[in-house]
Amino acid sequence: MKNPGWIAIALLMLGSLPMQAYAQASAIPSAQPVPETQGENRGRKLLDQMVTALGGEAWLNRVDWITYGKGATFYKGQANPYVSEFEEYTRAQPFGDRVVIVSKMGVFIPTSKRDIAEVWTLDNGYEITFRGKKELPKDDVEDFQRRRRHKLDVVVKDWLHQPDVLVTYEGTSMVGRRLADKVSVLTASNDAVTIDLDESTHLPLSRTFEWRNATYRDHDVDEEQYDGYQPVQGIMTPLIITRLHNGDMVTQRFLTKVVYNSKLSADLFDPDRPLEKKAK
């Protein structure tokens, strides 16, 4: 007759094998679940939350927009003494942008003059007056087009749908005094953008990208910061936009009015249409 004590010990050992095997398997790094904060899912989820915070479909489906405001420029951190007033007309598709510089003339009774404009197309930029058009300097055109290709609209509507694009959650950072979630987007051609999102609202606080300076053979950094968000026609709109170059502030714009989806005329974006000469 077999010893019942040995049978009990054998059963106990067999019952413990699955637990031991599970413990060993769970100790293998590849068997551990990957935390969402370390994968691409976290980055894409944050960008989805950003779009929702901006207005969702209303933000995605903007046809055109008009912005009115004032702008200041800076050199080596010091503000230039002049503040310009502007009107800007932007069309999403096909892309077009028109900036009208508003000048105040007259001492006792100032009047507004709009006798100069800049028109930007997909591949060039022009100064427009009543005399006709003149191409803007090459460096200015390259700078504008570079920034246009890295705008939030382009990243969301174009970059995220490209094959082999990589979206990565980079952890948290500080933008001003606000805690932000940092997300980077890298295309197959090694073009990259970093977006900092307010941790609580998910609204974008900044957009940053780098490029190689062909003259000095180093890398330059362009950053655009967004603040003063207000709802306009169901779209959260930043009314303060600050641009930095290699950490130094270069421009700051204060928007006083924004209008979306006005069905702007195509003539506004035609560089071959000179301004109308105003009678004196």
Tens of pLDDT, residues 94-114: 999 999 988 754 444 445 667
Tens of pLDDT, residues 37-95: 455 699 999 999 999 999 999 999 999 999 999 998 887 777 777 778 999 999 999 99
First-last CA distance in the chain: 124
Confidence of residue 212 (pLDDT cuts 50, 70, 90): confident
Nearest to 125 by CA among 236, 11, 241, 271: 271
Q: pLDDT at residue 25 above 70? A: no
Domains of the chain as residue ranges with CATH = 36-269 (2.50.20.10)
Nearest to 68 by CA among 251, 255, 265: 255
For residue 164, give the 3-state DSSP assignment: coil
Say if residue 53 is exposed, middle or buried (CB neighbours under 10 Å; 0-12, 13-18, 19+): middle
Residue whose tokens read 């290699």: 246
Confidence of residue 213 (pLDDT cuts 50, 70, 90): confident
Name every residue whose Cβ is closer than 8 Å to that of residue 131 and which is 6 or more positions away in sequence. 274
Tens of pLDDT, residues 3-17: 444 444 333 343 444
